[in-house]
Amino acid sequence: MRYHRVRIALAAGVLAASGTVAGLVVAAGPASAHPVAAPRVVLVNQCSGKGQVRPGTVPLPDCMTSSELIGHAHWTSWRSTAFGSADLEVNNCTPSSSCGPSKYTRYPILVVLWRARPWAGKAGEDYFTRMTWIYTGRRPHHAAVTNTIALPGAAQ
C-alpha cells in the first residue's frame, strides 16, 4: 500500500513539474500576442496587370498566348516559393503555313515560381519575379532541360 502511495505522489510531482515547464515555455514566447501575417504572394499576369494566386494558365511575359503558354497548372505549394506541374503548350503553326486553327504541342513540366518581392503600392502583397520550368518528359528540339526567366516587375 505504501508503495502505491509513493507512485501516486511521484506521478503527481512529475505532472506538476511538466505543467510548470510548459507554463514557462509559453511565457517565454514572443512578446506580441498577435503574430505578423505573411504577405500574400501573387503571380502578376503581365497582360492584365492583376495578381493571381494559383492560376491554371500562365501567359509567358510577352503575353502572346498564340505562341506558347503554360497551361493545365496544378500547384502543390504556394508560399514565398510556388511549386506545381503543368504543360508548356507551344503553337506549332508558323505564319508561312496554312494550318488553320492553332495546334499546340504539349510538353510536361514542373514549374517553380520564386524570388518574391514586395509589390509597390500593394500593402501586404508580394509578387514572384522568377520562374523556372523543368521538362519531365519529351521537350522541344534543342530545348534545355531547365529554363529560368525573369518575370517583369509589377506595374505600380
Per-domain boundaries in the chain: 40-150
Q: Are 124 and 39 in contact (CB under 8 A)?
A: yes
Rounded Cα distance between 6 and 61, Å, is: 74
pLDDT value, residue 146: 96
pLDDT value, residue 82: 97
Taking alpha carbons only, the member of 41, 50, 112, 106 closest to residue 76 is: 112
Rounded Cα distance between 59 and 131, Å, is: 12
DSSP H helices in the chain: 2-27
Taking alpha carbons only, the member of 68, 70, 65, 64 closest to residue 128 is: 70
Is the Cα dihedral 94, 97, 98, 104 positive or negative? Answer: negative
Residue with cell 510577352: 62
Is the Cα dihedral 119, 78, 115, 55 positive or negative? Answer: negative
Interval 81-113: pLDDT, tens: 999 999 999 887 766 666 666 678 999 999 999
Count CB-CB contacts under 10 A for residue 88: 23
User: For every one of its 156 residues, what pLDDT tens digit does the chain have, with 9 covering 90 and above?
Assistant: 554 454 444 444 444 444 444 444 444 455 555 667 788 999 988 778 889 999 998 877 666 656 788 999 999 999 999 999 999 998 877 666 666 666 789 999 999 999 999 999 888 999 999 999 999 999 988 899 999 999 877 655
pLDDT value, residue 133: 96
**Strand partners for 126:** 41, 118
Alpha carbon separation from 74 to 53, 68, 114 (Å, rounded): 12, 18, 16
pLDDT value, residue 68: 83
